[in-house]
Amino acid sequence: MLMNMLTASISIASDVDPTRPFGGSNASTHNKLAPEKGFVLSSIIHGDGIHTAVINGKIYKMFDYIGEYRITAINSHNVILRSKSKRLKINIFKSKGFKSHVLKDNVVENTVANSW
């Protein structure tokens, strides 16, 4: 019985985002989309030659793949993803919302805005 309680508390603890501020709402989890439906860029980190981005809750670095898309650029305010036929630009802002715009030549620009 004690072992079951310990296991349950460990699995519950793993579902909590350790970077989320105390008392914050779970509103950001409602904006997370599966990679095939869209991308949510929640953080960009630049350090000693290593640039990383948190997309859909996972940490990626340059040239990593997210499904069919490869990360080709991590900039201060956006990340560029490319597949064989598409180029995605995912932006990070301080307001809520998710927009997707199809531009000319099969270029799709996804603008992701998050609230902090």
Strands 50-55 and 108-113: unpaired
Helix locations, the chain, DSSP H:
2-14, 27-31
User: Class of 39-116 per CATH?
Assistant: mainly beta
Tens digit of each residue's pLDDT (9 = 90 or more) over 27-82: 444 333 344 467 899 999 998 888 999 999 999 999 999 999 999 999 999 999 99
Rounded CA-CA distance 100/109 in Å is 6
For the whole prediction, is pTM greater than 0.85?
no
Residue 25: φ, ψ to 5°? -85, 170
Domain range list for the chain: 39-116
